[in-house]
Amino acid sequence: MNIQKTAASPGRMLNQKKHPLRLFPLWIVLLCMLPGVLHYCIFRLYPSMMTAYYSFTDISGVPGTTWKFIGLANYKEFFILQNPRDLKAALLRTAAYAFFVTIIQNSIALLLSVIVNSAFLKGRNFARGVYFMPVILGAAVVATIWKAIFSTPTGPIYLFMQNVLHIANPPAILSSRVYAFPAVIAAQIWQNMGYSMVIFIAALQGIDGTLYESASIDGASNWKMFSKITLPLIWSAISINTLLAIIGSLQSYELIMTITRGNFNTSTLGMMAFATAFGGGGGTASGAVVNGLRQGYAAAESMVLFAGVLVVTIISQILMKRAEVER
Amino acid sequence: MRKFTKFISVLCLLAMLLTLAGCSGTTGGAAAPSGSTPAGSTPANDAPDGDASDGAQDVNVLTWSNEATVLFLKGIAEDFHAAHPEYNLVVTEVPSAEIDSVIQTRIIAGDVDVVSFQTFSRPQEDWNADSTDKPAWQDYIDQGLLTDLTDQEFLKNYNVDTLMGNAYKGKLYSLTIGTVGYGGMFYNKSIFKELNLEVPNTWDELMDICETVQKDGRYSVVSVGAGDQWPLNIFANAIISANYGDGTKEFGQKLLTGEISHTDPEVMLVYNCMEQIAGYLEEGVLGISYSDAPGRFALGNMAMYIDGTWSWADIDKAGPDFEYGYFACPPVEARSDGLVPQDAIKYDLSFAVPTNAPNSPGALAFLDYVSQKDVYTEFINAIGFTPTQNDIQMENAFLNSMANILQKPTVNSEMFIYGPKGVGEYGANQFTFFYLKPLGGEFDAQGFAQMVEEDFDAARKALGSMN
Amino acid sequence: MGKNVSPPIKVLCYILIVFFLFIYLFPLFYIVNTSLKSSQDYLLYPTSLTTSPQFSNFVTAWKKANFGTYVWNSVLYTLVCTLASLFMSAAIAFPISRKYVPASRFLHFLFLCGLFLPSGMIPTFQLILGSGLYNTKIGYMLVMTGVNATSVFFFTGYFRDIPKDLDEAATIDGCGYLRYLVQMVIPLSKPAIISMGMLTMIGVWNDIVSSTIYLTSESNYNITRGMFVFQGQYSNDWTLTAAALLIVAAPLILVYLFGQKYIIDGVMTSAVKG
């Protein structure tokens, strides 16, 4: 997994000493680190810890309002008061979002990176550049592109359904309780596939070409070379990509927020927490709007999500390890 | 070389001080309305005013995107400044979909002087304190965040009875500039004439009209901007308002407490009406976006069009010679008082003043200014709502023609229709068209009513176990 | 894949590549085409190729969406946050890579934690609200700036490759630490700085979540949020929306065209490190 250049440097040799020379006065070194460390502690570590604390309070985003410790009430509300059918659906939706994004995004990325990396293909840099483009465009731009493509009744998808597929009353995809969710998943994959692909390409480029040559002299088929040489050698990249996609898609709500605002049964746990804390559709499992910027409740939703991410990450890592050993 | 380090350190310190001064200036300026703005710092949102030097203070008005409102408000900024040289009017517009959350965040951040609301609907009262969530507006008032306007001088210009319909505990926290009706639909006068149709007084008559137009086959029967969903859903409210009128509040209470079930005949009546009208909607209606819909109606090939009365301006713009009228949704049984079906109104554009407004004298001066009869007349004509002041001359013939459906208007039913805390998806959308089969949903009227009732039941039980 | 691939597979590969190129290029192409149509033309023939390009759409969109203000905000946010983030990360990474500070290992671990901890969106909001920085440029920039763990690791790796002799030479010359850091170390790790700089810039420019949460006055909006709001207001004027979208995306695309190598390099490395 060492894709980065690890060229040994002359500096390394000098670094072996146990107590490095204090070349610069410590106070100035520390002073320079201070803004970064302070910022990190204040805006990263502290908020991260406080989320757990706030989840046991009824704090609201409305300043000046008093708040108090309310024990497990937020969690109770989440797990007991919410309609069980909707709660199950929302949790399943979150899982489905992560599952489909991970599987589809990585499959396409792997397929395309193997092709793009193969010697015969012309214009591979162009292809790679194009596939990667949406990554840099960002959620707002991608969402707006998506809305334009799926708009009714002038968007190309609507026209396609109407004129080519001859559907009499085509649904407005992005405001349909059935089709909006798959469309958002597709947007997520469309945006991030290039990211996974770049990681795969890096891993593929790290494979020693002579391995293939000797294998092809031995008469190995393309499939055999792929499964016996390529796959094992890029397994760590697959593992990283899986992890990134799972964590990324479980937590990400930018596209949901920008495309549907959490409406039309597209809200996942991450979006629910966001909408509860800052307003918007889909703050609860039923899709209802939550009033009053209930950030304590949102913090509880975040904690449920965090627990989920933790469990899924651990399980997926164990599975990936096991699959690696079995090879 | 040490000097260089020192130099950089001093530079950093200076930069930090400057930024600190800058931000404290902003917040300080907001917190102290009477003081002059500290030197070297300008409040964050006075970009457009060039009069900062004359010491005038901003009056920040927050409203949602409505072209007519925003244009008018921006247009009177100069006159307002002329009348009150000590103030500058600054208008901020927010997309309608975001207005609630933006109000929520800004009202209490205390950096806005006038905020816009619509109807103060679904209050939490004694009888439903445990079973419903408190709406945001009520939270603001209970926390003392909105100024009580009840005794303001400018109220005498208004029809106070109308305004008080939007009061809370007998006090007025917002000044309603105009009301709109959305308890009915537009109709195409020439098609109605051609097919010998009369404006309906009962639901059956409406269905007969639909049937006649459909049989004739040349025109589509009813259309609506269903692509945006809400334009169709408001018609469910229209049906409830038409049939329950002033009893809607009681109806909503009984639904919430479980005294009546959604599958009872009196509620099924609403679902059945919804299902019936859904059957006459134009083909491809799900793809018609709301912004295109008035223009399509003005093309003249649909008999009826469901929308709020405010859309007359868009219809006029799209078809200057197009002849149309508006009727309120007819009840199943004709009104006993002999009136034609009456419209259900909503309090639109209402201005409220946060108690922590940085410039509340300015905010009140602004309300006073727009309440002057001449300014008000211009305002109400520009936005095309029904006036809340008496004896206002409306230029628009359509608005004047609505007098007969506004003799005994009811407040739109959405004000009283609650869902219990934690209610499931169907219950939360208890009168939403899109769960019905003709509109891509999976239920018929009966099935949908059943799902809604199940959700209500589940929520009541869960609430019981929580308390 | 080996060099001797059979022709049918080659054809299949090309078909796949072209198919996905279509999926990726068509939306972009559609947006460009739409942005050049007159609204009349768009309503009548939304998918036809535009015949008489309406460049005025861009001017109209720029004015109507009030981009004149937002673009400067975005430039300010992007520059300040990127420079601050880079400096803070470098100032932390360098001593760690050299073990110039006690507990380097602990610091390393501390920053590693950042990769796994849950996001603290809500407490951050409370913090900004409580300190009166809500809806201010400063508050927003404080949130958007960040010592990103990946850039700390990325830099640490690069700084190790700078010979330590240089440090010694600098001290002998009497060159101060800050000056050494800014004038020697950072320029020497240009590829790393550019990679991380570009990724940070793109992230700040594209931000929509934080700007939605923290910025409520139009005078503070960044251009992305401005575009988003504009799209909400003119939700069916797709010609103008497309033009506004391209205005927002243009700098990104330019940066991408010229810095593709650095960006992709940065992504590869940060992903591997993470």
| Residue ranges in B175-264 assigned as alpha helix (H) | 189-194, 203-216, 230-244, 248-257
What is the average per-residue pLDDT within B257-268?
94
Which pLDDT band, with edges at 50, 70 and 90, does B33 fall under? very low
Residue B11: count of CB within 10 angstroms of its CB = 10
Provide the percentage of residues in chain B whose pLDDT is more than 90.
54
Residues A174 and B299: their CA atoms lie apart, in Å, by: 27
pLDDT of residue C198: 92
Whether B245 is covered by a domain: the verdict is yes
pLDDT tens for B90-130 read: 998 887 777 887 888 788 678 899 999 988 988 888 888 88
Please say if the pLDDT value at position A1 is more than 50. no
Residues B176 and B225 in one domain: no
Contact C180 A11 (CB under 8 A): no
Q: Residue B283 is nearest to which of A28, A168, A178, comparing CB atoms?
A: A168
How far is the CA of B147 from the CAs of B86, B89, B197, B366, in angstroms? 21, 19, 50, 14
pLDDT tens for A25-84 read: 888 888 999 999 999 999 999 999 999 999 999 998 876 678 899 999 999 999 999 999
Residues B358 and B233 in one domain: no
Q: Residue B104 is nearest to which of A177, A261, A293, comparing CB atoms?
A: A293
- Domains annotated for chain A, with CATH where assigned, are 24-54 (no CATH), 73-326 (1.10.3720.10)
Domain count for chain B: 2
Whether B33 is covered by a domain: the verdict is no
Nearest one of B135, B63, B141, B142 to B102, comparing CA atoms: B63
* Paired sense of beta strands B302-306 and B184-188, if any: antiparallel
Residues B428 and B331 in one domain: yes
Provide the percentage of residues in chain A whose pLDDT is more than 70.
92
Q: Residue A153 is nearest to which of B102, B287, B462, comparing CB atoms?
A: B287
Coil, helix or strand for B116? strand
CA dihedral B319, B405, B69, C66 (to 10 degrees): -50
Residues B376 and B432 in one domain: no
Residues B352 and B334 in one domain: no
- Which of A70-79, B102-111, B187-196, B336-345 shows the lowest per-residue confidence on average (mean pLDDT)? B102-111
The domain locations on chain C are 7-56, 64-273
**Contacts with A227 from chain C: Cβ below 8 Å:** none
Whether B356 is covered by a domain: the verdict is yes
pLDDT of residue B26: 34
Q: Which helix (H) or strand (E) holds A206?
A: none
C74 touches chain A (CB under 8 A): no
Residues B59 and B155 in one domain: yes
pLDDT tens for C147-201 read: 877 888 888 888 888 888 888 888 888 888 888 888 888 888 888 899 999 999 9
Query: Which amino acid, one-letter code, is at B56?
Result: A
Please say if the pLDDT value at position C210 is more than 90. yes
B5 touches chain A (CB under 8 A): yes
- DSSP letters along B360-423, please? HHHHHHHHHHHHSHHHHHHHHHHHTPEESBSS-----HHHHHGGGGSSS-EE-GGGT----TT-
Handedness of CA B212, B214, B217, B218 (dihedral sign): positive
pLDDT of residue C4: 62
Residues A171 and A185: their CA atoms lie apart, in Å, by: 18
With a CB cutoff of 8 Å and minimum separation 6, the contacts of C138 are B19, B22, B23
- Which of B13-22, B339-348, C228-237 shows the lowest per-residue confidence on average (mean pLDDT)? B13-22
Nearest one of B343, B332, B367 to B353, comparing CA atoms: B367
CATH topology of domain C64-273: MetI-like fold (1.10.3720)
Q: Which helix (H) or strand (E) holds B68?
A: helix B67-75
Mean pLDDT, chain B, whole residue set:
85
Whether B332 is covered by a domain: the verdict is yes
Contact B108 A81 (CB under 8 A): no
ipTM of the prediction: 0.92
Please say if the pLDDT value at position B207 is more than 80. yes
pLDDT of residue B10: 40
- Cβ(B263)–Cβ(B453) below 8 Å: yes
Handedness of CA B334, B335, B341, B347 (dihedral sign): negative
**Contacts with B106 from chain C: Cβ below 8 Å:** 135, 216
Please say if the pLDDT value at position A2 is more than 50. no
Q: Residue B4 is nearest to which of C135, C176, C218, comparing CB atoms?
A: C176
Which pLDDT band, with edges at 50, 70 and 90, does A20 fall under? low
C53 touches chain A (CB under 8 A): no
pLDDT tens for C119-130 read: 789 999 999 988
pLDDT tens for A194-242 read: 999 999 998 898 888 888 888 888 888 878 888 888 888 898 889 889 9
Contact A152 B424 (CB under 8 A): no
Residues B401 and B433 in one domain: no
Matching residue, tokens 């007025």: B172
Contact B136 A291 (CB under 8 A): yes
Residues C78 and C255: their CA atoms lie apart, in Å, by: 13
Residues B360 and C44: their CA atoms lie apart, in Å, by: 50
Which pLDDT band, with edges at 50, 70 and 90, does B9 fall under? very low
Chains with ≥3 CB–CB distances under 8 Å to C: A, B
Please say if the pLDDT value at position B411 is more than 90. no
What is the average per-residue pLDDT within B436-453?
92
- DSSP letters along chain C, please? --S---HHHHHHHHHHHHHHHHHHHHHHHHHHHHHTS-HHHHHH-TTSPPSS--THHHHHHHHHTTHHHHHHHHHHHHHHHHHHHHHHHHHHHHHHHHT-STTHHHHHHHHHHHHHSPP-HHHHHHHHHHTT-TTSHHHHHHHH----HHHHHHHHHHHHTS-HHHHHHHHHHT--HHHHIIIIIHHHTHHHHHHHHHHHHHHHHH--HHHHHH--SGGG--HHHHHHHHHHHTTT-HHHHHHHHHHHHHHHHHHHHHHHHHHHHHHHHHHHH-
C241 touches chain B (CB under 8 A): no
pLDDT of residue B28: 31
Contact B23 C139 (CB under 8 A): yes
pLDDT tens for A82-120 read: 999 999 999 999 999 999 999 999 999 999 999 998 878
Residues B430 and B332 in one domain: yes
pLDDT of residue A98: 95
Contact C216 B109 (CB under 8 A): yes
Mean pLDDT, chain C, whole residue set:
88
Please say if the pLDDT value at position C3 is more than 60. no
Please say if the pLDDT value at position B461 is more than 50. yes
Mean pLDDT, chain A, whole residue set:
86
What is the average per-residue pLDDT within C77-96?
93
Residue C35: count of CB within 10 angstroms of its CB = 26
With a CB cutoff of 8 Å and minimum separation 6, the contacts of B295 are B314, B315, B318, B319
**Contacts with A83 from chain B: Cβ below 8 Å:** 422-425, 427, 455, 458-459, 462
Residues B387 and B441 in one domain: no
C225 touches chain A (CB under 8 A): yes
- Cβ(C226)–Cβ(C70) below 8 Å: yes
Where in the sequence is the domain holding B338, given as residue range(s)? Answer: 184-342+419-466
Please say if the pLDDT value at position C224 is more than 90. yes
**Contacts with B292 from chain A: Cβ below 8 Å:** 153
Q: Residue A288 is nearest to which of B100, B428, B466, comparing CB atoms?
A: B428
Give the residue on B whose Cα is nearest the Cα of A158. Answer: B287
Residue C19: count of CB within 10 angstroms of its CB = 10
pLDDT tens for C26-80 read: 999 999 999 999 988 888 888 888 888 989 999 999 999 999 999 999 999 999 9
Please say if the pLDDT value at position B332 is more than 90. yes
* Paired sense of beta strands B178-181 and B386-387, if any: antiparallel
CA dihedral B20, B26, B27, B31 (to 10 degrees): 140
Give the residue on B whose Cα is nearest the Cα of C130. Answer: B109
Please say if the pLDDT value at position A21 is more than 70. no
Please report, for the domain that includes residue B382, its CATH number.
3.40.190.10
- In the stretch 192-221 of chain C, residues with CB closer than 8 A to chain A read 202, 205-209, 212-213
Please say if the pLDDT value at position B369 is more than 50. yes
Residues B322 and B188 in one domain: yes
Residue A202: count of CB within 10 angstroms of its CB = 23
Residues C89 and C150: their CA atoms lie apart, in Å, by: 9
Instruction: Indicate which of C71, C122, C219 best probes the interface with B, i.e. most B CBs within 10 Å of its own CB.
Output: C219
Residues B86 and B121 in one domain: yes
Matching residue, tokens 């992504």: C267
pLDDT of residue B297: 94
Residue A4: count of CB within 10 angstroms of its CB = 17
C179 touches chain B (CB under 8 A): yes
Give the residue on B whose Cα is nearest the Cα of A179. Answer: B440
Domain boundary among B361, B383, B405: B405
Residues B173 and B237 in one domain: no
Burial of B430 per CB tally in 10 Å (0-12, 13-18, 19+): buried
Whether B18 is covered by a domain: the verdict is no
